[in-house]
Amino acid sequence: MSGILLIHVVISLIAIVSGIVVAHGFLTANRHERSTLVYMVATILTSLTGFLFPFHAATPAIIVGGLCVLIFIPTALARYSFHLAGIWRPVFIVGAMVLLFFNCLVLIIQSFQKVPALNALAPNGNEPPILVAQVALLVVCLLVGYLSIRRFRPALLGI
């Protein structure tokens, strides 16, 4: 594994773990300031370091990376410029959950490609086991996002 790849993987794993902490905070109406900052920084660094790999054409990874940067901008503005006021609260929640979804989706895809036991289940990347994992991730993210919008109201809680 090259140095830049190792850095990219470590940053993306930090983004995923801290993103799960942030999502837990949404569900429990607990604002995790440090975890949120770590999540946001690690998430944008994951996207940006992904562009450091050589590429010659638009690939799904490049498209997802570009999309994540575009989603990151209003998400960061919602949190740090508009302080989750009004419509910016759901903008932040949805943006944070979509970014977490994409990070976890890439983790699933890479795991099925790189982990021999998982690769044996889905050698081509389009078999039912990988589809089940992706659909399960989507369902969890949608459910957590929905519940988060209903529960996470920091202004009303005075936090």
Domains of the chain: which residue ranges?
3-157
Q: What pLDDT sits at residue 157? A: 47
CA 32 from centroid of its chain's CA atoms: 16
Q: Identify whether the C-beta of residue 25 lies closer than 8 Å to the C-beta of residue 36.
A: yes
At 59, list the tokens: 């690939």
Alpha carbons 117 and 88: distance in angstroms, whole number: 42
pLDDT of the residue at 26: 94
pLDDT (0 to 100) of residue 29: 86
In this predicted structure, what is the pLDDT of residue 56?
Answer: 85
Q: How far apart are CA 146 and CA 151, in angstroms?
A: 9
pLDDT in tens, the chain (159 residues): 789 999 999 999 999 999 999 999 999 988 889 999 999 999 999 999 999 988 888 888 899 999 999 999 999 999 999 999 999 999 999 999 999 999 999 999 999 999 999 999 999 988 999 999 999 999 999 999 999 998 877 655 444
Q: Where are the alpha helices (DSSP H) in the chain?
A: 3-27, 33-50, 60-76, 88-114, 116-121, 128-151, 154-157
